[in-house]
Amino acid sequence: MIKGIIFDFDGLIFDTETHQYHILQEMFGEHGSELPLALWQNEIGTDSGFSPFHYMEEQIGKPVEHALLAEKYEEKFLSTLSLEKARDGVEDYLQMAKELELKIGLASSSSYRWVSGHLKNLDLYDYFHCIRTSDHVEKVKPDPALYIQAAQCLELHPEECLVFEDSAHGAMAAKRAGMGCVIVPNKVTHTMDFCEVEHRLDSMADMPLKDLIEYVSSLKADR
């Protein structure tokens, strides 16, 4: 029986990832280069240590001013995000989870400061009973630690949790933690090669949470 839901953050609740890629791609274009989507996807949902500006240097064959580019990138990124809202259906899911008396958690490979700040700006912070981020674990996704800790914090067993993810690394972390997973990819993650999951949605607005939980629960009953 599903007693709790656990959300990823970047790209799922708040589509930082699409804007992030488009801004970087624009900056690469200004330097006569390109950041392949397939390469950038390896960084989504985890922390591989990939440096886009070092990659830019390799592609154009000359050094760039990292600090200047990083400052320009951050300014554009934060300015763009200030105008962004939560993805369609997210708040409806949170509200329905509350009505169904489900425990609500969040597990993100980003920092607590980043996640909590944006959740507060979106007026979504108070929905969550537990938030686990990169500040709480030694290894981020695809390692299952974040999801395991989130379940423990919610005082639930892994099989009682349903995870919502947008990235392949995140989905893998959820399945490794022993949890059901529904993926809701965004514009930069929809072509990723995902592991086997319980369901895939283009948007949370496409299917009410109550119906989705009933569907996932029926899958478990058939196994």
Q: Which residues are catalytic?
A: 8, 10
Cβ neighbour number for residue 57 with a 10 Å cutoff: 16
Contact 197, 163 (CB under 8 A): no
Contact 58, 12 (CB under 8 A): no
Contact 216, 180 (CB under 8 A): yes
**Cis before residue 142, ω within 30 degrees of 0?**
yes
